[in-house]
A = this chain, B = another copy of it.
Amino acid sequence: MDFSFDARTEELRGRLLAFMDEFVYPAEAVFAEQRASGIDPWSPPPVVQELKAAARERGLWNLFLPGENGAGLTNLQYAPLAEITGHSPHLAPPALNCAAPDTGNMEVLSEFGSDEQRKTWLEPLLAGEIRSAFAMTEPEVASSDAANIETRIERDGDEYVVNGRKWFTSGAMNPNCRIMIVMGKTDPSAERHRQQSMVLVPRDAPGVDVRRGMRVFGYDDGDHGGHAEVVFTDVRVPVANLVGEEGGGFAIAQARLGPGRIHHCMRAIGIAERAVELMCRRAASRVAFGKPIAAQGVVQEWIADSRVEIEQLRLLVLKTAWLMDTVGNRGAHTEIQSIKIATPLAVQRIVDRAIQTHGAAGVSQDTPLAELWAQVRTLRLADGPDEVHKRSLARRELKKYTV
């Protein structure tokens, strides 16, 4: 057992931290201004493009992607880097071409895509030239239960015909989002987990109606392409747009989720670190009733509890990454669920303490805290509410003691 990072990780951490200091943090104010100006409400502000160029130049590019298509890091090596990007979660992940949902989509295309799919879609995604979306969640059903999915993908000759309604299709409001991976049922009569397939649907295909951006606690998340409601009406794509095999949609979705959760959780831990920093700086500088509020016992308790919680979360996420690398996603199933249950809830609490420490400024646009809170809160629902995962985890635990 060894809790130190390996040399490659340390080297990359150093390089990334330097990049954050030199490029990302200074760009935050510019970003806020450009975003507030609202010229192009559903695209990243121009400063992001500059950061991308700088990151790529420094070899801080596609770090999330294992194998030869990406930086070739293990999950354990990438995790601490993802955490660092969480310090500035609106800027650093897109700057490094490591932002969801593109990351998951690139993973899917890299692992399950045909040569043609990879050439057409994966390459420009890897180059950061286009964006993509993942259309899974539906408004009408509890999407945590894949059997509920109502979108139909029906074969008709050499084409698939897609009909259905999706929402919270993140990124799809962005006009530069060119391609969507759409989950739907190709065979509702198959067994529960073989009914679903995934197809690639260009955003500009006839019958695709990107209706509106869903809000998250008042935020539209326009800078990363929003969360679209998309209606598919008789949308036709060639059969070559099938990802993997028919009936393989559920399995691909599962494969996509493991790394996705690690990334989300590590970034969330980075958010928590940022919140603690802001909380400490505020507490040290703000005076009430004759002393800095850092001298208040309750504020000290918030800081201590936050530190202790973060340390535990990080270790669990790192161990999960290590398990994924050593025994595979299936072997790490319990741990992947565990971090999904534990991280957003704890980070939400930590950010809330930082908000409270800031008074009215904490809920406003003058600190990043309120927006970060909304983002982390939403993770408790993303890819299934925590409660679904707890139930599943408990059942496995119970099986240990009962034959």
Residues of A participating in the B interface, judged by any CB pair closer than 8 Å: 1-6, 9, 76, 137, 139, 141-145, 148, 167-168, 214-220, 276-277, 280-281, 283-284, 286-289, 293-294, 296-301, 303-305, 307-309, 311-313, 315-316, 318-319, 322-323, 334-335, 338, 341-342, 356, 359-366, 370-371, 373-374, 377-378, 380-382, 385-391, 393-395, 397-398, 400-402
- Tell me if A391 and B304 are in contact (CB < 8 A): yes
**Closest CB in chain B relative to A345 CB, distance in Å:** 10
A359: chain B residues within 8 A (beta carbon): 142-144, 381, 385
Copies in the complex: 4
Distance in angstroms between the alpha carbons of A307 and B398 in the assembled complex: 11
- Tell me if A214 and B319 are in contact (CB < 8 A): no
Distance in angstroms between the alpha carbons of A82 and B359 in the assembled complex: 26
Distance in angstroms between the alpha carbons of A214 and B366 in the assembled complex: 8
**Closest CB in chain B relative to A206 CB, distance in Å:** 27
Given A3-B319, A297-B298, A381-B360: A304 in contact with B393 (beta carbons within 8 A): yes
Given A1-B6, A342-B308, A391-B304: A377 in contact with B400 (beta carbons within 8 A): no
- Tell me if A370 and B318 are in contact (CB < 8 A): no
**Closest CB in chain B relative to A380 CB, distance in Å:** 7
Given contacts A215-B218, A301-B391, A307-B338, 7 further A-B contacts (CB under 8 A): A2-B2, A144-B359, A218-B371, A297-B299, A298-B301, A305-B390, A311-B319
- Tell me if A401 and B284 are in contact (CB < 8 A): yes
A364: chain B residues within 8 A (beta carbon): 168, 214-216
Distance in angstroms between the alpha carbons of A214 and B356 in the assembled complex: 17
From B9, B381, B387, B398, A294 is in contact (CB under 8 Å) with B398
From B217, B361, B390, A217 is in contact (CB under 8 Å) with B217
Distance in angstroms between the alpha carbons of A64 and B3 in the assembled complex: 21
Residue in chain B with minimal CB distance to A361:
B139
Distance in angstroms between the alpha carbons of A144 and B296 in the assembled complex: 15
- Tell me if A214 and B365 are in contact (CB < 8 A): yes
- Tell me if B217 and A363 are in contact (CB < 8 A): yes
- Tell me if B284 and A398 are in contact (CB < 8 A): yes
- Tell me if A370 and B216 are in contact (CB < 8 A): yes
Residue in chain B with minimal CB distance to A403:
B284
Residue in chain B with minimal CB distance to A289:
B145
- Tell me if B288 and A341 are in contact (CB < 8 A): no
A300: chain B residues within 8 A (beta carbon): 297, 390-391, 394-395, 398
Residue in chain B with minimal CB distance to A378:
B363
Distance in angstroms between the alpha carbons of A66 and B377 in the assembled complex: 41
A390: chain B residues within 8 A (beta carbon): 298, 300-301, 304-305
Identify 22 residue pairs between A and B in the complex whose beta-carbon atoms are under 8 Å apart, listed by A's number. Answer: A1-B6, A2-B322, A141-B287, A144-B288, A214-B360, A216-B364, A218-B219, A280-B397, A297-B298, A297-B299, A299-B394, A300-B390, A300-B395, A301-B394, A303-B398, A304-B389, A304-B391, A311-B335, A312-B312, A312-B313, A363-B374, A363-B381
- Tell me if B307 and A393 are in contact (CB < 8 A): yes
Distance in angstroms between the alpha carbons of A143 and B402 in the assembled complex: 24
Residue in chain B with minimal CB distance to A334:
B307
A382: chain B residues within 8 A (beta carbon): 360
